[in-house]
Structure 1
């Protein structure tokens, strides 16, 4: 039986290279003000998913709040999926792409206000092999950028910008076969994005068709770097040159890298090299508090 007066806060202490003490103090003050019993869990990187599942089972909170980046948010969503729990996000990562898609405020005070509010939406997730993605995952260029960023010394958007030059010099296109219920595409690709949402945390709208509640995800297949097509992204234009960019809205897809293993990331977490991924929509996966 889930308690209306219990809240669990999950904190990733190292996300975004930011001190979380202010978030902890302000969430504790708001929980006391609203007469909630607050429990706090700090991730360690060791079996966090199962630890959170056990906490939710034992504590029976009515809402679970997350202070971390997109990877932490997706992990906690997986932990509470199927439970009578609403889900609040306090942006505290390096890029905070999910928060941008939900229109969540940047300030701690305003995001806590939303997290203790009552306005919520049901959102889908995408199962990619054994991982859960709420936001944006990809194979190719951006996954290599995530890998380089994780091994770099600078955090935040500046860190991504610094690593981009290195990534562009290292990356090579790859041959890919994509199978969906709409047919088979074989092409050379710079990146294949599995997009449940619209924006990367840098603010770039990579998927103008994205809707996290529509029961589908998009495949964005970028075949080469093209500054005109990139400008179309930034201005919201949805008429693209299909020799440069392809979009598919699907419920399932199989993506095979034909010539070699390719870099792969899920919601900002580098996962390694892959030859094949299979993706499937999971409808109404979790309930998220929004402005």
Structure 2
């Protein structure tokens, strides 16, 4: 008996500055061309994770496409935990770091072709307290930037650039203790990044040693602003000054902020201020369509 193929498109209508109507029309055309029955869910910010889980359970889609930023992608990936549903990314956020890591094109037609394509890989995720991170999460400077950006009026990379000046003036370093399976490190920090991936949405490789399928994540500690050492690190130079930058490759970590609560963000979504984070790797968490 013929069994119809199904695809679920999850759209964040307020992410980034791309025209979502164009995305909907082109995905619908591609779904029809490839003989998929298309269902669409638009996020509202209210119980989106639960709603997507219910749709996955009731529709049993063969493929899920996400048009949104990294936070929407991570949420939808969490909704398909324990399945082997192919996950397609259509970059439509303000900062599309995951798409940069996977080499996805910013061209909409090319991104849709990949999202419906046959090539896919399993990638890890990181559980941080009660949150799931596919990409890059952090405490400190960048999390404050995300907070300021969310409160700003301008979207896209221009919005991030404008908020950076304000953020640099507001931010203060903090003391942190990081405990892993093999070591304990206590230091002053500008930012502590829990990095499953390599690149921020700007294309900057903040974790040049990262591999999203290696069963590890990196903790990247920037202890102060030093443009020369940071430039060496970002270009993958392993001889950077460890008094400025430190990298730990781990499966588990406990991060304690010793002097105060610190700003925290997960995959581009501001989560508030925290004193302690517990992070652990989730191997082969989701299957993602890639070029």
Q: Which residue of 2 aligns with 1:199?
A: 199
Deviant stretches of 4+, over 6 Å: none
Tell me which moved more, 272-281 or 225-234. 225-234
Segments of 5+ residues of structure 2 without an aligned counterpart are none
Structure 2 CA distance, aligned partners of 1:108 and 1:83? 27
Aligned 8 A contact 1:204 1:233 in 2: no
1:271 paired with 2:271, answer: yes
1:224 paired with 2:221, answer: no
Structure 1 CA distance, aligned partners of 2:26 and 2:253? 43
1:209 paired with 2:209, answer: yes
Q: Which residue of 2 aligns with 1:57?
A: 57
Aligned 8 A contact 2:176 2:189 in 1: yes
In the TM superposition, what is the alpha-carbon distance from 1:19 to its structure 2 partner? 2.4
Structure 2 CA distance, aligned partners of 1:146 and 1:127? 20
In the TM superposition, what is the alpha-carbon distance from 1:230 to its structure 2 partner? 2.0
Pairing 1:1-291 to 2, within 5 Å after superposition: 5-291=5-291
Structure 1 CA distance, aligned partners of 2:51 and 2:239? 46
Structure 2 CA distance, aligned partners of 1:234 and 1:244? 13
In the TM superposition, what is the alpha-carbon distance from 1:240 to its structure 2 partner? 1.5
Structure 2 CA distance, aligned partners of 1:139 and 1:38? 39
After TM superposition, the score normalised by the length of structure 1 is 0.98
Q: How many residues align?
A: 289
**1:18 aligned counterpart, secondary structure:** coil
Aligned 8 A contact 2:125 2:282 in 1: yes
In the TM superposition, what is the alpha-carbon distance from 1:4 to its structure 2 partner? 6.3
Structure 2 CA distance, aligned partners of 1:207 and 1:67? 25
RMSD value, Cα = 0.9
Tell me which moved more, 13-22 or 211-220. 13-22
In the TM superposition, what is the alpha-carbon distance from 1:229 to its structure 2 partner? 1.5
Structure 1 CA distance, aligned partners of 2:205 and 2:4? 37
**1:17 aligned counterpart, secondary structure:** coil
Segments of 5+ residues of structure 1 without an aligned counterpart are none
Structure 2 CA distance, aligned partners of 1:99 and 1:112? 12
Q: Deviations over 1:38-83 (max 9, x none)?
A: 0000000000000000001000110000000000000000001112
Structure 1 CA distance, aligned partners of 2:30 and 2:251? 40
After TM superposition, the score normalised by the length of structure 2 is 0.98
